[in-house]
């Protein structure tokens, strides 16, 4: 049975990935690391460590303490937040990934580190974006994600590290709010629709972006890490998507449940420029061919589930 370490366990993906992995592999086989003690839920739910994963020695000590063989690295300064402090974004995104790959090299382990649609840029074909294409992102987040993809493939080719990853679209969930992402509007809109019956969106109508519901994102990570390595042509990282929509499309779906829901706009120029440089929708056929990727939630199913789960929490 795997011994898994999740670094970045308090984030939007990490906070749901930990219980998801514990359901599959057993609570004692999944160790969560947090950067601070601000997350009592995680700290009371199974093995955890307070860890600054930019400290290579501290990370290696935790890996050895629990005899870890697989690292899920969910540490990232997201796109919009990264633009406020590019150096911090690069130091965290690249430093943690490098440390994870280095310890994985020593223990002959595996590393999952997500990339993102943010790894593409304005010169990338934005419709049906290919798996293999030009990648010249114009955010420090995207630059760090392209560098991370190349670093992970290097560690696989040079040292045999079992490094794999997914280019995630915007991820939507009802458990932990995302922080500092360009796609955050697609989460906030559901909360505001229930709380206020209206939402002011910071991206303009017509801004199409790839999106995915969290249950699909979690399943995709595990299915990739469990995939037969002999079938993988690509590793870092696979395009995966489930849907593409703009603010008007998701608002229309919400109105099927909340008929009077009102949407208006106050566009954030930084987030608009970032979103405009990202794909409208990706081609994820390589993931389907190489490890059987298939999304289960479309916009209709996600919206119904999001609103049901958020109403139940009220
Ligand atoms: C962001 N949610 O907006 C993240 C994600 C696809 C974007 O990487 O930065």
Confidence of residue 115 (pLDDT cuts 50, 70, 90): very high
What is the structure's pLDDT at 183? 96
Q: How confident is the model at residue 176 (pLDDT cuts 50, 70, 90)?
A: confident
Residues 16, 73 within the same domain? yes
Residue range 9-15: mean pLDDT, rounded: 93
- From 80, 116, 179, mutation site for ligand 1 pocket: most ligand atoms within 8 A of C-beta: 116
Q: How far is the CA of 311 from the centre of ligand 1 (A)?
A: 25
Same domain, 221 and 76: yes
Same domain, 220 and 205: no
Residue located via tokens 């991370």: 148
Percent of the chain with pLDDT over 90: 94
Q: What pLDDT does 301 receive?
A: 98
| pLDDT value at residue 1 | 83
Mark whether 218 and 205 lie in a shared domain: no
Q: State the CATH number of the domain containing residue 263.
A: 3.90.25.10
In ligand 1, which atom is closest to the CA atom of 82? Answer: 9
Residue nearest to atom 8 of ligand 1 (CA): 116
Q: What are phi and psi of 246, to 5 degrees?
A: -115, 170
What domain range includes position 117? 4-168+212-239
* CATH for 100: 3.40.50.720
pLDDT band at 25 (very low <50, low <70, confident <90, very high): very high
Query: Which range is least confidently modeled, 34-43, 157-166, 196-205, 229-238?
Result: 34-43
C-beta neighbour count of 170 within 10 angstroms: 25
Whole-number pLDDT of residue 166: 98
Q: Are residues 128 and 198 in the same domain?
A: no
If asked whether residues 49 and 152 sit together in one domain, one would say: yes
pLDDT (mean) for 96-113: 98
Q: Are residues 94 and 141 in the same domain?
A: yes
Looking at 195, 221, 239, the residue that finishes a domain is: 239
Same domain, 23 and 162: yes
Q: What letter would DSSP give residue 118?
A: G
Of 25, 66, 141, 174, which one is the catalytic site residue?
141
Q: Are residues 231 and 102 in the same domain?
A: yes
Q: Residue 40: what pLDDT?
A: 76
Whole-prediction pTM: 0.97
310, HSE (Cβ side, Cα atoms, 13 Å): 21
% of the chain surpassing 70 pLDDT? 100
Distance from residue 171's CA to the centre of ligand 1 (Å):
7
- In this structure, which residue's CA is closest to atom 4 in ligand 1? 181
Same domain, residue pair 180 and 62? no
Ligand 1 neighbours, Cβ below 6 Å, are 78-79, 116-118, 141, 168-170, 178, 181-183
Task: Give the DSSP per-residue string, 1-56.
Answer: ---EEEESTTSTTHHHHHHHHHHHH-GGGEEEEESSS--HHHHTSS-EEE--TT-H
Indicate whether 38 pLDDT > 80.
Answer: no
Round the average pLDDT of the chain to a whole number and report it. Answer: 96
Looking at the structure, do residues 261 and 113 belong to the same domain, yes or no?
Answer: no
**pLDDT attached to residue 178:** 83
Choose the residue to mutate in 143, 167, 172, 181 for probing ligand 1, maximizing ligand atoms within 8 Å of C-beta.
181
Considering the domain architecture, whether residues 34 and 69 belong to the same structural domain is answered as yes
CA 309 to centroid of ligand 1, rounded, Å = 23
pLDDT classification of 293: cutoffs 50, 70, 90: very high
Active site residue 141: yes
Q: What is the pLDDT of residue 260?
A: 98
Over residues 195-228, the pLDDT tens digits come to: 999 999 999 999 999 999 999 999 999 999 999 9
Q: How many CA atoms lie within 13 A of 230 on its CB side?
A: 0
What pLDDT score does 84 carry? 95
Centroid of ligand 1 to alpha carbon of 169 (angstroms):
7
What does the pLDDT read at residue 131? 98
- Ligand 1, atom 7, lies closest to the CA of 170
pLDDT digits (tens, 9 = 90+) for 126-138: 999 999 999 999 9
Query: What pLDDT sits at residue 163?
Result: 98
Q: Whose CA is nearest to atom 1 of ligand 1?
A: 181
179 confidence band (pLDDT: 50, 70, 90): confident
Query: What average pLDDT does range 137-165 have in this prediction?
Result: 98
Say which residue the tokens 């997500």 belong to: 114
Ligand 1 mean position, distance from CA 115 (Å): 9
Residue ID of nearest Cα to ligand 1 atom 5: 170
Give the number of domains in the chain. 2
Which one of 223, 239, 255 terminates a domain? 239
Least confident of 10-14, 21-25, 266-270, 300-304: 10-14
Q: Once rounded to an integer, what is the mean pLDDT over residues 289-299?
A: 98
- Taking only the tens place, the pLDDT of each residue in 48-80 is 999 999 999 999 999 999 999 999 999 999 999
On the CB side of 103, CA atoms within 13 Å amount to 27
178 Cα–ligand 1 center, Å: 9
């Amino acid at each position: 049975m795997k011994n898994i370490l999740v670094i970045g366990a308090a984030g939007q993906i990490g906070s749901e990935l930990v219980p998801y992995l514990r359901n599959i592999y057993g609570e004692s086989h999944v160790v969560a690391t947090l950067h601070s003690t601000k997350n009592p839920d995680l700290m009371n739910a199974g093995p955890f460590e307070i860890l600054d994963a930019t400290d290579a020695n501290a990370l290696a000590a935790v890996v050895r303490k629990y005899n870890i063989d697989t690292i899920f690295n969910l540490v990232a300064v997201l796109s919009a937040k990264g633009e406020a402090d590019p150096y911090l974004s690069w130091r965290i995104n690249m430093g943690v990934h490098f440390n994870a790959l280095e310890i994985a090299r020593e223990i002959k382990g595996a590393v999952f580190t997500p990339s993102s649609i943010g790894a593409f840029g304005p010169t990338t074909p934005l419709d049906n974006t290919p798996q293999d294409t030009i990648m010249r992102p114009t955010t420090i987040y995207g630059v760090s994600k392209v560098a991370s993809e190349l670093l992970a493939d290097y560690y696989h080719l040079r040292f045999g590290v079992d490094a794999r990853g997914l280019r995630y679209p915007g991820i939507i969930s009802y458990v932990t709010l995302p922080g500092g992402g360009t796609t955050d509007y697609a989460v906030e809109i559901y909360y505001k629709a229930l709380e206020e019956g209206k939402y002011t969106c910071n991206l303009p109508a017509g801004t199409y972006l790839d999106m995915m519901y969290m249950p699909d994102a979690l399943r995709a990570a595990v299915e990739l890490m469990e995939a037969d390595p002999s079938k993988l042509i690509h590793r870092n990282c696979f395009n995966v998507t489930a849907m593409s929509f703009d603010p008007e499309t998701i608002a229309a779906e919400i109105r099927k449940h909340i008929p009077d829901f009102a949407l208006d706009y106050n566009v954030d120029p930084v987030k608009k420029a970032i979103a405009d440089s990202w794909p409208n929708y990706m081609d994820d056929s390589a993931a389907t061919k190489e490890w059987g990727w298939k999304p289960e939630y479309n916009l209709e199913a996600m919206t119904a589930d999001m609103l049901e789960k958020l109403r139940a929490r009220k």
